[in-house]
Amino acid sequence: MKKYIYKRTLLLLFLLIAVSTVVFFLIHFIPGDPVVGILGEGASIEDINRLKQDLNLDKPLLFQYLDFSKNLFNLSFGKSLFNQQTVIRNILTVLPNTLYLALASMVLALIISFPLGTWAAIKGDTHTVVDTSVTLVSSVGLAIPNFVLGPLLIIIFSIKLGWFPVSGSQGFACIILPALTLGTSMSAFLTRIIRTSIGTELKKPYVLLARAKGLTGFQIFKKHLLKNALIPIVTIIGLQMGALLTGAIITETIFSWHGIGSLLVTAIKQRDYPMVQGIIVFMTFVYLILSFLVDLSYFLIDPRIRHQYQYQHHQHNQYQI
């Protein structure tokens, strides 16, 4: 286990360095001058050159990259070119909103998808109508993109009915429509994964054996089936949660939700190099950490994976001896 964690940590560091390098050069190759964006088109050449010097943008690109790498090694992304606050502080300011929206969307998706997927898996073989209905509903949920569903919900529930605010990120009422927008597509996808995973396990011999021993359907589901079906479900939940925590850009933009995604869009528009670099490196880090935690959860969920890893590790040690 220690060796596995060590390898994954090295891989994480390598990917962070690679992503930060690619992002640094890409953002500098984007047309436009951030200094002109700060001072305006009518700024004098002297003012532009002075600000470039203050922001260290007058140095050759290679030297700027070395400064960036040094700051990254010290866990510092510098300051925003526009508000002069540190990039970390800007990210931490909007992070609670992103966490709030991500958790609300995921909880909503699980509340919808787990009962539907389980119901379709259990009743699908004997009740074709149930399986067809759940498949149809999930297909519709997957077919409607967020940039269509979001405005549609605003028109119905905000403009027509006046139940919820059109935009904003303050208060419980503001989160309902964004969470519903994100949760709909996620619940549709998770419903299919849960239905397939549980349905596959139901056809395996150990389920028939458990029934022959007199176990009830609930006992089989709780003691045996659920753990075996969880691996693909946990994988998708982890990936979806990573996508939510790294910013649902389209949804945040539609509802003016002040989170990581909207902060990134603003930084790109303003050519705020340190901010864009810091946000993307942060997103990459969060995604990789969640992926790592999902992999570790396999050892806890399925003892077979843990025993297989221990056996392979033991065989490898014997081979070295």
Tell me the pLDDT tens digit for each residue of 3-53: 767 777 888 888 888 888 888 888 777 776 667 666 666 677 777 777 777
CA distance 130 to 127: 6
CA distance 42 to 26: 27
Tell me the pLDDT tens digit for each residue of 124-134: 666 677 778 88
The mean pLDDT value for 196-213 works out to: 82
Residue 152: per-residue pLDDT: 92
Residue type, 56: N
Degrees, nearest 5: CA angle 130-132-134: 70
Query: What is the set of domains in the chain, with CATH numbers?
Result: 87-320 (1.10.3720.10)
Per-chain mean pLDDT for the chain = 80
CA distance 313 to 77: 39
Tell me the pLDDT tens digit for each residue of 161-189: 888 888 777 778 888 999 999 988 889 88
Looking at the predicted structure, is the pLDDT value of residue 204 above 70? Answer: yes
CA distance 262 to 241: 17
CA distance 8 to 14: 10
User: Could you tell me the two tokens for 292?
Assistant: 């790592």
